[in-house]
Amino acid sequence: MGSAEYRPLLLGLSSHSQISDLSSAVIEEFLENRPVALRWWPRLVAWESRLLWRLSGASITASIFNYMLSFVTFIFCGHLGALELAGASIANVGIQGLAYGIMLGMASAVQTVCGQAYGAKKYSAMGIICQRAIILHLGAAILLSFVYWFSGPILKAIGQTDSIAMQGQIFAHGLIPQLFAFALSCPMQRFLQAQNIVNPLAYMAVGVLFLHTLLSWIVVYVLDYGLVGAALTLSLSWWLLVILNGLYIVLSPSCKETWTGLSVRAFSGIWPYFKLTVASAVMLCLEIWYNQGLVLISGLLSNPTIALDSISICMNYWNWTLQFMLGLSAAASVRVSNELGAGRPRVAKFSVFVVTGTSILISIVFSAIILIFRVDLGKIFTSDEEVMAAVTSLSPLLAISVFLNGIQPILSGVAIGSGWQALVAYVNLTTYYIIGLPIGCVLGFKTSLGVAGIWWGMTLGVFLQTITLIILTARTNWDAEVVKATERMQKSANEETIDLVTSV
């Protein structure tokens, strides 16, 4: 583009009173002409931040309130007793964590393909992609249900005590219905997020949480159904979410172009999508299992009940902050995939910079809050003085982990939006399991550090993974990513042609 064409665009932008009204196409054209004067960057950041928070505000709310279903359940379990809390914690990590990683990882493929299809205005393909995802998720749920059923022997096999394994099995059996609800909910929520429908998900999540809290109180305290009652109540609440999500997709006018009903096309062309699903599942599973492995390994230390309770309480706070970042990550994934699908690589790149800077500021605030209130962190979950003291001693490590995991999920969201799942899976395997985990085990079992030693080693793995993702993101050729997005949609969405307007 010559200077004669560039000048009117600048004049139009400078005279524009509300930069927020400008389209992505205009911003893409503006960013294409370099160098961009310094005075424009604050307005461009404000433009991107407005789009990001419009998506992430509701996504964060939905993510946090969905997680709060389990959070509330653990609060009730903790007041049943230290053994019940340990059993529920180990089942949540060793059994439910396995399913959570697989389901959430598989669903990230929906974010990639549906997000890019939506950006390319290939709306009819999105419903087919969602149905393919549901088919694969249900198949995974059937296989995983055997793990839930035989959770007691599995927990004993990985070194847990008989009493903790027995309580874990009781809790896991009550979560089998939740497994199938999760298999339906994950693809449906990603399907809606990909088309920027996030506010309804937030409303549903808030409403179900309030109902879940009331039901949990009735079942645990009034009816005295104990651990199995708490687990079944959690399963019921997830099924309420599924029903609400499904009704919205089928009945809402917002989905009339993207959801055209059930189709046998969902079974055709499933292999290319399955390959992306596997890469997505491996990528996120390696991340989720790594952090949950900290709880599993802690159960092998001396005095496992105290170790498990203290680390589980810390992990609940860590997971709470992580849900905030996952909501932001989901918004980042949607922004990047939409812009790549629409053929706007410079806007996609700019979005990455804005969301990363935002996440760093937020993670600093969260870490500071944990350090300020470190003495009171354990009181919500337990009245055991020894457990509360252990939680307080671990709070500095929790603050460091919260900071690092405030950045890492955002970069993973960018990877999902760009379709880099297979590459990131190799990064995770190396930094987490070849470096971080062995160092953590040495520090935990061969020194006096105990749980803190395990955590220090695993934090090193997260640090190395974060640095690697920063380097990969900084070196990305975003023009090439647009071409890859087109090829991916042709294979995964089973479309014969994808017509994109690109700037390459």
- Asked whether residue 28 is domain-assigned, the answer is no
Residues 360 and 241 in one domain: no
Q: Region 435-444: what's the mean pLDDT?
A: 87
Please state, in angstroms and rounded to a whole number, the distance separating the CA atoms of residues 162 and 168: 10
- Which value, in Å, is the radius of gyration of the alpha carbons in the chain? 23
Is the pLDDT at 414 greater than 60? The verdict is: yes
Nearest alpha-carbon partner for 77 in 87, 67, 91: 87
For residues 129 and 493, is the Cβ–Cβ distance under 8 A?
yes
- Asked whether residue 33 is domain-assigned, the answer is no
Q: Which of 10-19, 26-35, 349-358, 411-420 has the lowest mean pLDDT?
A: 10-19
Is the pLDDT at 451 greater than 90? The verdict is: no
Q: Region 347-353: what's the mean pLDDT?
A: 80
Question: What confidence tier does 34 reach under pLDDT thresholds 50, 70, 90?
Answer: low
Tokens 């179900």 map to which residue?
Answer: 208
Give the model confidence (pLDDT) of 104-122 as tens digits. Answer: 777 777 777 777 777 777 7
Give the model confidence (pLDDT) of 187-199 as tens digits. Answer: 898 888 878 787 8
pLDDT of residue 202: 85
Higher-pLDDT residue of 146 and 98 is 146
Angle 366-291-302 from CA coordinates, rounded to 5°: 110
Nearest alpha-carbon partner for 345 in 108, 114, 116, 123: 116
pLDDT of residue 208: 93
Q: Which of 128-142, 310-324, 487-501 has the lowest mean pLDDT?
A: 487-501
- Asked whether residue 250 is domain-assigned, the answer is yes
Nearest alpha-carbon partner for 486 in 125, 32, 22: 125
Nearest alpha-carbon partner for 47 in 413, 339, 329, 255: 339
Residues 201 and 93 in one domain: yes
Question: What confidence tier does 6 reach under pLDDT thresholds 50, 70, 90?
Answer: very low
pLDDT of residue 501: 30
Please state, in angstroms and rounded to a whole number, the distance separating the CA atoms of residues 115 and 332: 11
First to last CA, the chain: 13
Residues 407 and 375 in one domain: yes
Please state, in angstroms and rounded to a whole number, the distance separating the CA atoms of residues 9 and 121: 26
Q: How far is CA 5 from the centre of its chain?
A: 43
Is the pLDDT at 11 greater than 50? The verdict is: no
Residues 287 and 383 in one domain: yes
Indicate the residue among 247, 268, 289 that finishes a domain: 268
Is the pLDDT at 247 greater than 90? The verdict is: yes
Nearest alpha-carbon partner for 427 in 255, 222, 290, 293: 290
Residues 307 and 426 in one domain: yes
Q: How many domains does the chain contain in total?
A: 2
Q: How many CB atoms lie under 10 A from the CB of residue 491?
A: 15
Q: 3-state class of 139 per DSSP?
A: helix
Residues 284 and 264 in one domain: no
Please state, in angstroms and rounded to a whole number, the distance separating the CA atoms of residues 224 and 220: 5
Residues 307 and 252 in one domain: no
Give the model confidence (pLDDT) of 51-90 as tens digits. Answer: 788 777 777 888 788 878 887 887 787 777 777 777 777 7
For residues 336 and 398, is the Cβ–Cβ distance under 8 A?
no
Please state, in angstroms and rounded to a whole number, the distance separating the CA atoms of residues 485 and 480: 9
Tokens 């230290």 map to which residue?
Answer: 82
pLDDT of residue 238: 93
Please state, in angstroms and rounded to a whole number, the distance separating the CA atoms of residues 144 and 84: 23
For residues 159 and 77, is the Cβ–Cβ distance under 8 A?
no
- Asked whether residue 298 is domain-assigned, the answer is yes
Residues 124 and 214 in one domain: yes
All residues at 6 or more sequence positions from 392 whose CB lies less than 8 Å from its CB, including other chains: 374, 375, 377, 378
For residues 341 and 485, is the Cβ–Cβ distance under 8 A?
yes
Extract the tokens encoding 272: 């290319």
- Asked whether residue 5 is domain-assigned, the answer is no
Is the pLDDT at 496 greater than 60? The verdict is: no
Residues 298 and 437 in one domain: yes
pLDDT of residue 487: 64
- Please report, for residues 46, 48, 72, 219, 250, the alpha-carbon distance to residue 21 in angstroms, rounded to integers and kept in the order given: 11, 11, 41, 51, 31
- DSSP-derived letter for residue 34 is S
Residues 225 and 259 in one domain: yes
Residues 289 and 414 in one domain: yes
All residues at 6 or more sequence positions from 467 whose CB lies less than 8 Å from its CB, including other chains: none
Q: Which domain holds residue 144?
A: 55-268
Please state, in angstroms and rounded to a whole number, the distance separating the CA atoms of residues 16 and 314: 49
Q: How many CA atoms lie within 13 A of 186 on its CB side?
A: 29
